[in-house]
Amino acid sequence: MTPSQVSKQPSWDHLLSSIANGASHPEATAWDIYYYLRTHYVEMGSKQARTLLAAYIKLKQPCPMLVNSCMLGLALKVSGKYDDFNLPNFLKAWGYDRLLRTEDRAGHVDDKGKMFPSLKDRTDRTIQTYWLRHPSEGDGSQSVCRYMYAVKVFGNVSEEQKEHAVKLVAADGSELVAESFLFPCPLAEIQGNVYEVVSRKSGRGDECAVRIRQSDKVVDALFPVEVGFIDGIDMEHGHWHVYDSLSRHFVADSPMVAPQARSFVRFCPIIPQKDRFKSAAILQAISFEEGCTAFGLYEAVVTEINMPKEELHYHITSPIQPTPEGQVMRDGWAYIGLGERRIDLSAVKQGTCVKLLLYLRREADNYKHNYVAEIIL
């Protein structure tokens, strides 16, 4: 039976009669309940709305079908209207783990191209809100509120109609992935901002965002500020590769401040607790001289020169700073033609004292080695 075969505006008397005889026509009665409840649930009050939903559950046919999906969608509206409606119990009685149709798991697009979330997405979102409103119920879950920085939007931000995942990191390194529809701004403006995030954490440790709003805090009010060197830029992927003085490698994803390669910047290191991928929130470019002072240079002496390869061999004479990325070696080779401040080899000889802008970098052998980004006489 389809909706067109059922009266769409049953009277109260008709509805009572239909429920009384519902065992002989359960689907028709389910449609009667649906159309009456859809029209009147706002003004009828919680008790009557819950009574009609209970009557539907008693008659519900235990298989995926349109009327069941319609009743689930209506139950979500009742949950939003009445706090005393126990949505988790309804979902269990409804059969949420087995009665969703294939269509219920996919969003749809209207004639104007606007994307609407699927019934499953709407249900999952509503149950998250329910747990937020009822923190003392059920599974020992709890709500957490904290400021988080939006590191990356996954997917093509030009595709506004699609849902996108957004990676968020807090100052303590805690991480969360949230759906883009939760954010109070257009998709293209999400990344690179700080948000106040309310999340729900279950007794099993699962966590999901339930509310996100824009914060007036700036990223450098939450995270430390350091000086880094732009090692290179991958324009194809929009990645700015940043190294700090501890040889830690960070990536700024399509930063709002986009400095030149081989320059210094002030940035906030965004370091997740679990994900090994560290991000950089670039704040501003600074001068080469200021960057060298803040970053720190190694003092070294030239021990050998290879003119054909434009390389020099060095021995570091200053104290070597320990790093979490490995051990800086005192001796190594440096290519003199790499930096913008290319030195004149004719001015260098064995025994010449130089300063090195040096950090550890992973090379083709997948190991980290000394890397000299600049040689300064």
SS percent in the chain: helix, strand, coil, step 5: 30, 30, 40
Give the number of domains in the chain: 4
Same domain, 167 and 83: no
Which one-letter amino acid corresponds to residue 213?
A: R
| Tens digits of pLDDT across the chain (377 residues) | 444 444 478 999 999 999 999 999 999 999 999 999 999 999 999 999 999 999 999 999 999 999 999 999 999 999 989 989 999 999 999 998 789 999 998 877 767 666 678 898 889 878 877 776 776 665 555 678 899 999 999 876 555 556 688 999 999 999 999 988 889 999 999 999 999 998 877 665 678 888 898 999 999 999 999 999 999 999 999 999 999 999 999 999 999 999 999 999 999 999 999 888 999 999 999 999 999 999 999 999 999 999 888 899 999 999 999 999 999 999 999 988 655 556 777 788 999 999 999 999 999 999 999 999 999 98
Structural domain for 200, as ranges: 142-219
User: Is 127 found in the same domain as 89?
Assistant: yes
Q: How many CB atoms lie within 10 A of CB 37?
A: 22
Which pLDDT does position 112 carry in this prediction? 67
Residues 248, 282, single domain; the answer is yes
Of 219, 247, 267, the last residue of a domain is 219
Q: In terms of domains, do 16 and 124 share one? A: yes
Whether residue 10 sits in one domain with residue 94: yes
Identify the domain boundary among 270, 291, 312: 291
Based on the fold, state whether residues 263 and 326 are members of the same structural domain: no
Are 11 and 110 in the same domain?
yes
- From 189, 219, 249, the end of a domain falls on 219
- Same domain, residue pair 146 and 234: no
* pLDDT score at 199: 86
Q: What is the pLDDT of residue 179?
A: 87
CATH of the domain at 213: 2.40.50.140
pLDDT of res. 190: 94
Same domain? For 129 and 147 the reply is no
282 and 352, same domain (yes or no): no
Count CB atoms within 10 A of the CB of residue 194: 23
Q: Does 29 lie in the same domain as 13?
A: yes
Residue 184's alpha-carbon distances to 2, 127, 162, 219, in angstroms, are: 38, 20, 16, 18
Q: What is the 3-state secondary structure (H, E, C) of 215-278?
A: CCCCHHHCCCCEEEEEEEEECCCCEEEEECCCCCEEEEECCCCCCCCCCEEEEEEECCCCCCCC
- Cβ atoms of residues 206 and 234 within 8 Å: no
SS3 at position 188 = helix
209 with 230, same domain: the answer is no
Sign of CA dihedral 81, 83, 88, 94: negative
